[in-house]
């Protein structure tokens, strides 16, 4: 079955610094979703990538999907305390009948 | 407003008791999902349903049961067979036939078994 591996598992950065979170799939992705979660709450949708080489940005967050559609990265520029939380990648695989799985998450802390 | 409602938000139960978590959506989505989240971990898929009266096991279905009798409702029962039921449970739905198809999540239900 398909698995998603995120790295790093946790990250502490100084405010204003850039950072990158990676998500690697064991199989080709049909769709890759990035979410943010505050502890004990539901998930907030950030972006969805579907085409190989696709890149999307929202405010200071940029996500990319590689050409082979097996790896995605999430990049935050000039981090702020409001960026703190848990970032999760989720994916639909080909011929998986709508099964949508998630990575184990990356916990981000931003020091003021 | 459209969205997903989970209830209860917090639930305490004694060991050996079955518990049912409610999930209702008014987004007219065909697909609904249940995930479990443990501290410091990501989401693990319990069950999902693509259409009314049909559902599939996810990666950790043992000890859980679901039903999908109505499009807007997808209740999850945590049975006494689930060995470690204390966790945060998240319900979600998505429009599988159009748009970006992202999941819309409820606020979660935190179950504690004493």
Contact criterion met (CB < 8 Å) for B102 and A45: yes
Give the confidence band of B64 by pLDDT, cuts at 50, 70, 90. very high
The pLDDT score that the predictor gives to residue B48 is 95
Residue whose C-alpha is closest to residue B103's, from B8, B23, B19: B23
CB of B106 within 8 Å of any CB in chain A?
Answer: yes
Cis ω before B13 (30° cut-off from 0): no
Question: For the residues B88-95, what does the mean pLDDT come to?
Answer: 95
The pLDDT tens digits for A55-80 are: 999 889 999 999 888 999 999 999 99
The pLDDT score that the predictor gives to residue B1 is 65
Q: Are B33 and B48 in contact (CB under 8 A)?
A: yes
Is residue B78 predicted with pLDDT exceeding 90? yes
Q: Which residue of B has its CA nearest to A49?
A: B100
Question: For the residues A96-106, what does the mean pLDDT come to?
Answer: 87
Give the confidence band of B4 by pLDDT, cuts at 50, 70, 90. very high
Tell me how far apart the alpha carbons of residues B49 and B65 are, in angstroms, rounded to a whole number.
12
Tell me how far apart the alpha carbons of residues B112 and B13 are, in angstroms, rounded to a whole number.
6
Torsion angle in degrees (nearest 10) through CA of A80, B4, B78, B86: 20
SS3 A81: helix
Which of B:60-79 have CB within 8 Å of A?
none
CB proximity list for A78: less than 8 A, separation 6 or greater: A16, A17, A18, A60
**How close A43 comes to chain B (CA, Å)?**
6
The pLDDT score that the predictor gives to residue A95 is 66
| A contacts of B100 (beta carbons < 8 Å) | 31, 48
The pLDDT tens digits for A3-48 are: 899 999 999 999 999 999 999 998 888 889 999 998 888 899 999 9
Which residues lie across from B67 on neighbouring strands? none
Contact criterion met (CB < 8 Å) for A98 and B88: no
CB of A105 within 8 Å of any CB in chain B?
Answer: yes
Tell me how far apart the alpha carbons of residues B19 and B77 are, in angstroms, rounded to a whole number.
5
| A contacts of B106 (beta carbons < 8 Å) | 42
Contact criterion met (CB < 8 Å) for B101 and A1: no
Contact criterion met (CB < 8 Å) for A104 and B42: yes
Contact criterion met (CB < 8 Å) for B102 and A107: no
CB-nearest to A102 from B42, B48, B101 is B42
């Amino acid at each position: 079955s398909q698995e998603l591996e995120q790295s790093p598992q946790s990250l502490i950065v100084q405010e204003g610094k850039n950072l990158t979170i990676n998500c690697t799939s064991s199989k080709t992705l049909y769709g890759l979703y990035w979410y943010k979660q505050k502890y004990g709450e539901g998930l907030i949708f950030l972006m969805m990538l579907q085409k190989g080489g696709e890149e999307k940005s929202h405010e200071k967050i940029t996500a990319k999907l590689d050409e082979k559609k097996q790896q995605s990265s999430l990049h935050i520029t000039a981090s702020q305390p409001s960026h703190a939380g848990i970032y999760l990648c989720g994916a639909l695989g080909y011929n998986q009948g709508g099964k949508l799985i998630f990575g184990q998450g990356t916990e981000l802390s931003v020091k003021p | 407003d459209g969205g997903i409602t989970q209830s209860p938000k917090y639930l305490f139960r004694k060991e050996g008791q079955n518990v049912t978590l409610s999930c209702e959506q008014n987004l007219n989505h065909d697909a609904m999902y249940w995930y479990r989240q443990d501290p410091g971990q990501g989401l693990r898929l319990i069950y999902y349903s693509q259409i009314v009266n049909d559902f599939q096991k996810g990666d950790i279905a043992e000890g859980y049961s679901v039903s999908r009798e109505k499009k807007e409702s997808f209740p999850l029962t945590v049975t006494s067979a689930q060995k470690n039921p204390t966790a945060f449970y998240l319900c979600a739905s998505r429009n599988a036939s159009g748009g970006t198809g992202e999941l819309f999540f409820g606020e979660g239900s935190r179950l504690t078994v004493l």
